[in-house]
Amino acid sequence: HPDVSIYDLPNAASPEYAANLEKLVAAPNQTQYEKLRTETGLTKPSLLLGLSPHHTLGIPQCLTPDTMHL
């Protein structure tokens, strides 16, 4: 793929992540699950989703170290 400029990165969109994750976990079978993994770029729900939304910066806009450093 071509180089990616850090000045042209798309915004992390939590609604898009949530919609893609919803599609992934609703897959009716393993074949569809694997197809959706490829299409969405997601592999499985993040462990960070188990944290209270009142104590995190939001998924995917945060990384594990973000919570640790607050």
Q: Using CA atoms in the order 55, 60, 64, 66, what is the torsion angle rounded to 10 degrees?
A: -60
pTM for this predicted structure: 0.54
Contacts of 36 (CB under 8 A, 6+ apart): 20, 23, 24, 27, 42
Q: Using CA atoms in the order 25, 29, 32, 37, what is the torsion angle rounded to 10 degrees?
A: 40
What is d(CA 46, CA 60) in angstroms, rounded to the nearest whole number?
A: 9
Q: Which of 1-5, 8-12, 47-51 has the highest mean pLDDT?
A: 1-5
Question: Tokens 């592999």 — which residue?
Answer: 43
Q: What is the pLDDT of residue 16?
A: 84
User: Could you read off the pLDDT of 23-69 as tens digits, one per residue?
Assistant: 999 999 999 999 999 999 888 887 767 767 666 555 555 555 555 55
